[in-house]
Amino acid sequence: MKNKLNLITIASFFLLAAACSKGSIEETDPEIDPVIGLGVETNAPNTSYAPAFAGQTRMTAVRTSTAIQGTAISTALSAPWGITTLPDGRFLITQKAGTMRIATTTGTLSAPITGLPAVNANGQGGLLGLCIDPQFSSNRMVYWVFSENVAGGTQTSVAKGRLAQNELIIENATIIYRAGPAYNGTLHYGGRILFDKTGNLIVSAGERSDLATRPLAQSVTAGLGKVIRINTNGQAAAGNPTFTTSGALPELYSMGHRNPQGLALHPVTGDIWQSEHGPRGGDELNRLQGGKNYGWPTITYGIEYSGAAIGSAIQQQNGLEQPVYYWDPVISPSGMTFYSGNRIPEWQNNLFMCSLSATHIARLVITNNKVVGEERLLASEGQRFRDITQGIDNALYAVTDGGRLYRIDKQ
């Protein structure tokens, strides 16, 4: 009976959230305990698989006690995919078809920025994630991931170039890395990129989805289904982990990934956190460690879209890493960022993750590298949230597949 009452309480909470006006969400009652009981997910899982440890999935729901508001400050972007904060407080945004835009904190957009290599925007491809050089204020260098047409199909590629002073073009665009082999498909490119604490680039590359390429996530001779670590010239970074199998690529950092669309650096530890799409169930959040194997497709908490088991239908195996957290049903996790601001103190070091199919931003409270609470923000907006960043004003800014740019901050 108690569980039934808890479910009713949570359902009532979501009905109230849905009643918020389009374009904003508000939380105003300071009397509500920030811990509200059961997990935010109330739908049945796709599988009966048991988690490897307590708290690995469906963790306790939490609620932000600070009054917050999310507002769509622009609706004029065209399929934005990546967003990063510029030193002057504006944002550089990629658009899937192959251009970038600059946005202000009030939602004013620049003209499209051109000069980038051609992208293949079919399916899940296009101009994907981006980051700026730590010395951007002096060198104006931008790095990005895109799906490139090459002999044999398409592949996940990395390029760099200088944002011109007039902000209309990327100058001297150069492709510095390609995750091979090429494949004639349009799915699972991965596509996030960031600088780690050593000044090297971390890049996520998908395994291209199909049964023909899926096993390459477990091959150290291929760049598919990997997180790679390279320097700004595209060469394997110094100090990379060593994979002992013959022919291992020197740029590999971790392996056994499916479609990794989220990367974030913890603001205190410098650890690299990563999210990836599972199949039907089994979306994952991982804390990456160099040289580790994260299991796909040997172990997974999901099943095929047809309902069939994947491989031997196992979730644990010696030598393969467990996700810190997983979702079943899926939320389709995409871009993510840790909050290091001070405007909302209870959010300090929380992870904010964009959800595509479940149309919300997931707030994850993490303690000792474990998820201890989960909250769904902006769920009433009905948007496929694609990427998120923290502004220099300590608000969060997120883009959606539908072309919106949101500002999320306290009221």
Q: From the candidates 188, 257, 277, 360, which is the catalytic residue?
A: 188
Reply yes or no on whether 188 is catalytic.
Answer: yes
Beta strand residue intervals within 112-152, DSSP E: 127-132, 141-150
Q: How far is CA 8 from CA 17, 43, 64, 265, in A?
A: 14, 13, 20, 37
Q: How many CB atoms lie within 10 A of CB 242?
A: 9
Largest Cα–Cα separation, the chain: 66
Residue 397 half-sphere exposure, CB side, CA atoms within 13 Å?
A: 26
How does DSSP assign 46-98, residue by residue? S--PPPSSTTSSSPPEE---S-EEEEEEE---SSEEEEEE-TTS-EEEEETTT
Q: Among 380, 372, 381, which residue's Cα sits nearest to residue 400?
A: 381
233, 176 contact by CB (below 8 A): yes
Structure tokens at 369: 């590298």
Q: Spell out the residues 6+ positions from residue 318 whose beta carbon is closer than 8 angstroms to its own.
A: none
Q: Spell out the residues 6+ positions from residue 133 whose beta carbon is closer than 8 angstroms to its own.
A: 139, 140, 141, 142, 143, 195, 232
Residue type, 51: P
Residues annotated as catalytic are 188
